[in-house]
């Protein structure tokens, strides 16, 4: 089928090109200087529609694709120049036309610029939405996918010029700060007038000229005039057709005016639609910045969650969701603005998974022990987030910002599994586990920015984090997983019982405070000195206990070796010096930061301290080859610290087959990171090329020392003298042809080398790296994705692509071949048909895993022009696929699994547009 669809696409492309001729030439000023980034477009006089547009390159060249034997109005414009307009009648031959623009007042320039599909004003790219859409779009993500140079992934993430969009705004106001997904999936497409991409973005105008902002990209959505000062949005309700009890209720409400804005999004469903996943919850930052980004120190906190099962591809056996989110902004005065959001969510999920875990031999890397499991899991997750922000800017020289961000959740998971182990086939048992946790965090920051003179800028930033975690883990097993307390590290002795019921309590509290003062002094307009003074302080407490519930419901306290009472503190006082200067096309920003570290942990009645001094360098360099072509290099050296749980000496039950004991003598790791990035965006032929290479070298990394009895693991940690390394590279090519066609090819490869250690508890030797067997494991992953597609206004649109992923784990390769087809068609000014098909062939080279499945979803929608009502019949999993596969690699084992997904269903949805 893929061959037929590709042939059809090529036939449509060839036939469309065959009807066109090309008009090309140059746009220069009256002195003969080429004007780069000038706009030119062709308006068909017969249809009054724009048939083609172009943007000039560095030589002032442009090109337009026009229909033969037609009459056009050709318009050209450039900021600061009088607009140009001429009538051209095409024949069967190509046309060469050079255009000269005169400097002057742009009497009608604003109107022409607004009509242009793409305009560039300095660091801002402006897309005119109507120039790329055909009426089949329903949400912002559908619009963004059709814009040249913009990529939207399956999770709602947006990248432009190969860089992630870190902030989404509507009419200049934050839209759920810290995430683009909610906007991409909910802002109505028909409300969008312009999409502004803000490159080199900095929220603080005073710092824009003194800091490197090359990696910062924001996006601002401009609304159509009819959507301002009025409530708009839609309300959808749906129910399953035929068998099943699926439902959907999805209200969306928006209001924007210059002083006040409000957004509300609700979603109740049991059809698998997830407005935010648990992955989104964990990474949702609320837009908080990393104050110590340049400082060279990382604190790894928040690693004490239970590792609840996460849905792959947002798919599971059953999913029920209740979601609500509200966002507002308000300007009490011209100088003061308030904004904030609140999100609540409740998910009930059922998962049915078959998994094979393979433990690798430490010497040969060959499979040593294989565990097959069949697991049924029920999960309930409730979470809430809220943020309040204030910004006061009475004049251009002073700004005071304050933000407060709260996250809390209640998560429970119960699972039952049947486990069998090979070659020890007798080691089979039924296992029931329960997980509960109620993490809470409160983050706040206060920032002051003051410009004394044009040459002197001060920035004070402070941030505080308070966090609580209370994971509870319970395992109920047929057999004793750690018989006789085997292992010199363990010492865990369980009382005989019909079933072994073990519970682990943990309580972790974190306080982290950071503050820094930056002073920027401009020696010249192109050279700046930056002096930084700062301090970061971390304090954590860790308490845990482990007990066994006996057959008579009494508790067996498992002794002092299973209890923890740890206090951990870390202080980092630092001073940094950076010098930024620009010469010609080159920019350099080298710097050094001197740190004084003080670290301690208190437990078992004693204190262990680690105090030291370190100087850490960093370098940023950029070669601006052309306006839209650059090469950048970053180097950084980072001191890495772990959190309190790795210091705790008492035994911790991580899972029914894993015991852990910390090491109170741990030190820090030292990481070095190099990255080289290339980017080119040619607006002349709408081609985007990017590539990057990153190398990471990790010394003194904290590594696991493990002993295995079958699948049961007992481990501790120690700083490793052997370096871990990783090398990754990515490249992408995206191009739009004559406005109506697009093609893309993206490649990602990564290589990782890890060092892990096995010890033999029977020797009785001290558990150290020196007395362990070093196991070096490597992972090599490759992903290739290519696609070609159309972007017609009045014809069906088709995208055909192919994805190949190869994961090489311990001499075992897993392959995932996945061709895909996307289709949309808007016709008769009322009907929209969309369809998405994906086929997957998943297997490994030794054929222990081999599965083929495909997914087809389709919608047909009816809405008359200017009507408030829309009717949709949608089908999900129309081919009724029952299960999916995935695989992963840890440093001591490989895992491959197959999990059940929701069956086929049809949903009738009625939507009312306000």
Structure tokens at 688: 């985007």
Beta-bridge partner residues of 348? 320, 380
Cis check: omega of the bond before 423, within 30 degrees of 0: yes
- Find the helix or strand (DSSP H, E) in which 49 lies: strand 49-55
Asked if the model's pLDDT at residue 18 lies above 50, the reply is no
Coil, strand or helix: which one is 206?
A: helix
Which of 404, 474, 416 lies closest to 441 in space, CA to CA?
404
Could you give the maximum distance between any two Cα atoms of the chain, in Å?
97
What confidence score (pLDDT) does residue 19 get? 64
What confidence score (pLDDT) does residue 310 get? 62
- Find the helix or strand (DSSP H, E) in which 109 lies: helix 109-115
- Find the helix or strand (DSSP H, E) in which 6 lies: helix 2-18
How big is the CA angle at 140 (ends 139 and 142), to the nearest 5 degrees? Answer: 70
- Tally of CB atoms within 10 A around 104: 11
Average pLDDT over residues 275-298: 73
What confidence score (pLDDT) does residue 891 get? 64
Q: pLDDT for 371-384, tens place per residue?
A: 888 888 899 999 99
Which of 279, 261, 410, 249 lies closest to 344 in space, CA to CA?
410
How far is the CA of 152 from the CAs of 53, 239, 274, in angstroms? 24, 29, 17
Long-range contact pairs involving 106-110 (C-beta distance under 8 Å, separation at least 24): 106/77, 106/79, 106/80, 106/81, 106/82, 107/82, 107/83, 108/83, 109/77, 109/79, 109/81, 109/83
Asked if the model's pLDDT at residue 79 lies above 90, the reply is no
What confidence score (pLDDT) does residue 372 get? 84
Q: What is the dihedral of CA 113, 116, 117, 121, to 10 degrees?
A: -30
Coil, strand or helix: which one is 523?
A: strand
Average pLDDT over residues 709-716: 83
- Cβ neighbors of 53 (< 8 A, separation 6 or more) are 39, 40, 41, 42, 64, 116, 117, 118, 131, 739
* Range list of β-strands (E), 129-186: 150-152, 158-160, 163-170, 173-174
Which of 155, 159, 222 lies closest to 185 in space, CA to CA?
155
Which of 914, 912, 786 lies closest to 237 in space, CA to CA?
912
The CA distance from 848 to 442, in Å, is: 47
What pTM, to 2 d.p., does this model score?
Answer: 0.87
Average pLDDT over residues 282-300: 73
Asked if the model's pLDDT at residue 308 lies above 90, the reply is no
Chain centroid to Cα 711, Å, comes to 34
What confidence score (pLDDT) does residue 440 get? 93
* Exposure on the CB side of residue 392, measured as CA atoms within 13 A: 5
Q: pLDDT for 330-376, tens place per residue?
A: 999 999 999 999 999 999 988 888 888 887 776 666 777 888 888 88
How big is the CA angle at 286 (ends 283 and 292), to the nearest 5 degrees? Answer: 80
Q: What is the rounded average pLDDT for all residues in the chain?
A: 86
Least confident of 74-83, 110-119, 606-615, 875-884: 110-119
What confidence score (pLDDT) does residue 16 get? 45
**Left if phi > 0, otherwise alpha if psi is -120 to 50, otherwise beta: which for 503?**
beta
What confidence score (pLDDT) does residue 774 get? 87
Asked if the model's pLDDT at residue 756 lies above 50, the reply is yes
Top pLDDT among 244 and 188 is at 188
Structure tokens at 270: 């049991």
What confidence score (pLDDT) does residue 112 get? 43
What confidence score (pLDDT) does residue 301 get? 79
How far is the CA of 102 from the CAs of 29, 35, 87, 105, 832, in angstroms? 6, 11, 18, 10, 45
Structure tokens at 481: 């997983």
Q: pLDDT for 797-844, tens place per residue?
A: 999 999 999 998 767 788 999 999 999 999 998 999 999 999 999 888
Which of 104, 122, 106 lies closest to 114 in space, CA to CA?
106
* Exposure on the CB side of residue 90, measured as CA atoms within 13 A: 28
Top pLDDT among 83 and 751 is at 751
Top pLDDT among 680 and 465 is at 465
What confidence score (pLDDT) does residue 574 get? 96
Asked if the model's pLDDT at residue 411 lies above 70, the reply is yes
Asked if the model's pLDDT at residue 17 lies above 80, the reply is no
The CA distance from 154 to 279, in Å, is: 13
Please state the φ and ψ torsions of residue 504, each to the nearest 5 degrees: -120, 125
> For the chain, what percent of residues have pLDDT higher than 90?
45
Q: pLDDT for 652-704, tens place per residue?
A: 988 888 889 999 999 999 999 999 999 888 777 778 888 999 999 999 999 98
Average pLDDT over residues 578-604: 94
């Amino acid at each position: 089928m893929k061959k037929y669809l590709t042939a059809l696409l090529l036939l449509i492309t060839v036939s469309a090109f065959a009807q066109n001729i090309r008009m090309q030439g140059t746009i220069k000023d009256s002195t003969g200087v080429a004007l780069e980034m000038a706009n030119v477009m062709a308006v068909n006089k017969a249809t009054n529609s724009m048939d083609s547009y172009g943007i000039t390159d560095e030589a002032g060249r442009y090109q337009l694709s026009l229909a033969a034997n037609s009459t056009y109005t050709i318009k050209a414009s450039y900021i600061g120049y009088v607009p140009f307009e001429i009538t051209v009648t095409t024949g069967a031959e190509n046309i060469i036309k050079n255009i000269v623009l005169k400097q002057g007042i742009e009497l009608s320039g604003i109107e022409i610029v607004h009509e242009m599909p793409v305009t560039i004003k300095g660091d801002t790219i402006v897309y005119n939405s109507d120039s790329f859409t055909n009426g089949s779009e329903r949400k912002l993500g559908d619009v963004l996918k059709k814009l040249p140079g913009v990529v939207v992934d399956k999770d709602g993430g947006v990248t432009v010029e190969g860089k992630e969009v870190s902030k989404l705004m509507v009419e200049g106001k934050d839209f759920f700060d810290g995430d683009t997904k909610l906007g991409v999936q909910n802002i109505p497409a028909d409300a969008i007038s312009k999409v502004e991409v803000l490159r080199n973005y900095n929220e603080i105008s005073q710092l824009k000229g003194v800091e490197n902002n090359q990696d910062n990209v924001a996006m601002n959505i401009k609304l159509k005039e009819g959507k301002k000062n009025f409530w708009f949005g839609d309300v959808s309700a749906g129910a399953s057709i035929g068998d099943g009890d699926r439902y959907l209720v999805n209200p969306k409400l928006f209001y924007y005016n210059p002083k006040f804005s409000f957004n509300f999004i609700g979603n109740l469903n049991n059809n698998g639609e997830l407005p935010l996943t648990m992955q989104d919850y964990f990474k949702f930052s609320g837009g908080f910045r990393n104050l110590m980004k340049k400082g060279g120190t990382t604190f790894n906190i928040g690693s004490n969650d239970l590792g609840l099962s996460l849905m792959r591809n947002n798919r599971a056996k059953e999913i029920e969701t209740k979601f609500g989110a509200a966002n507002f902004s308000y300007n009490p005065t011209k100088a003061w603005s308030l904004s904030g959001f609140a999100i609540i969510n409740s998910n009930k999920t059922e998962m049915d998974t078959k998994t094979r875990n393979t433990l690798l031999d430490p010497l040969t890397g060959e499979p040593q022990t294989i565990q097959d499991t069949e697991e049924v899991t029920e999960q309930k997750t409730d979470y809430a987030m809220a943020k309040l922000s204030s910004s006061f800017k009475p004049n251009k020289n002073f700004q005071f910002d304050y933000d407060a961000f709260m996250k809390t959740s209640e998560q429970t998971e119960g699972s039952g599994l049947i486990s069998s182990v090979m070659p020890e086939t007798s080691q089979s048992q039924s296992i029931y586990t329960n997980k509960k946790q109620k993490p809470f965090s409160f983050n706040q920051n206060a920032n002051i920015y003051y410009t004394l003179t044009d040459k002197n800028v001060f920035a004070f930033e402070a941030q505080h984090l308070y966090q609580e975690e209370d994971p509870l883990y319970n395992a109920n097993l047929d057999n004793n997983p750690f018989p006789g307390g085997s292992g010199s590290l363990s010492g865990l002795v369980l009382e005989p019982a019909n079933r072994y019921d073990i519970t682990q309590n943990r309580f972790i509290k974190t306080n982290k405070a950071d503050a820094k003062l930056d002073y920027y002094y401009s020696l010249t307009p192109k050279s700046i000195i930056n002096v930084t003074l700062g301090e970061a302080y971390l304090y954590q407490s860790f308490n845990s206990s482990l007990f066994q519930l006996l057959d008579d419901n009494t508790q067996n306290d498992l002794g002092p070796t299973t209890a923890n009472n740890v206090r951990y503190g870390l202080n980092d006082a630092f001073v940094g010096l950076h010098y930024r200067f620009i010469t010609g096309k080159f920019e350099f920003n080298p710097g050094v930061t001197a740190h004084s570290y003080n670290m301690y942990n208190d437990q078992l009645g004693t204190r262990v301290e680690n105090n030291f001094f370190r100087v850490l360098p960093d370098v940023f360099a950029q070669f601006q080859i052309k306006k839209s072509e650059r090469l950048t290099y970053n180097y950084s050296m980072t001191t890495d610290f772990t959190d309190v749980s790795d210091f705790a000496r008492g035994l911790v039950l991580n899972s029914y087959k894993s015991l852990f004991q910390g090491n109170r003598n741990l030190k820090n790791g030292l990481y070095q990171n190099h990255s080289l990035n290339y980017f080119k965006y040619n607006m002349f032929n709408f081609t985007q090329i990017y590539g990057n290479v990153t190398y990471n070298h990790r010394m003194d990394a904290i590594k696991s020392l493990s002993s295995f009895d079958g699948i049961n693991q007992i481990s501790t940690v120690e700083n490793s003298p052997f370096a871990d390394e990783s090398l990754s590279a990515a490249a992408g090519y995206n191009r739009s042809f004559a406005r109506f066609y697009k093609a893309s090819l993206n490649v990602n490869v990564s290589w990782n080398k890890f060092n892990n250690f096995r010890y033999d508890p029977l020797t009785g030797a001290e558990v150290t790296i020196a007395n362990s067997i070093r196991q070096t494991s490597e992972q090599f992953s490759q992903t290739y994705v290519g696609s070609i597609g159309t972007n017609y206004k009045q014809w069906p649109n088709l995208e055909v692509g192919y994805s190949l992923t190869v994961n090489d784990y311990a001499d075992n390769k897993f392959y995932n071949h996945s061709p895909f087809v996307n289709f949309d068609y808007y016709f008769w000014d009322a009907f929209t048909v969309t369809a998405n098909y994906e086929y997957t062939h998943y297997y490994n080279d030794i054929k222990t895993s081999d599965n083929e499945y495909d997914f087809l979803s389709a919608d047909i929608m009816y809405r008359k022009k200017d009507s408030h009502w829309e009717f949709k019949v949608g089908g999900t999993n129309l081919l009724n696929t029952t299960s999916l596969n995935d695989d992963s690699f840890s440093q001591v084992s490989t895992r491959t699994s197959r999990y059940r997904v929701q069956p086929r269903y049809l949903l009738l949805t009625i939507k009312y547009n306000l």
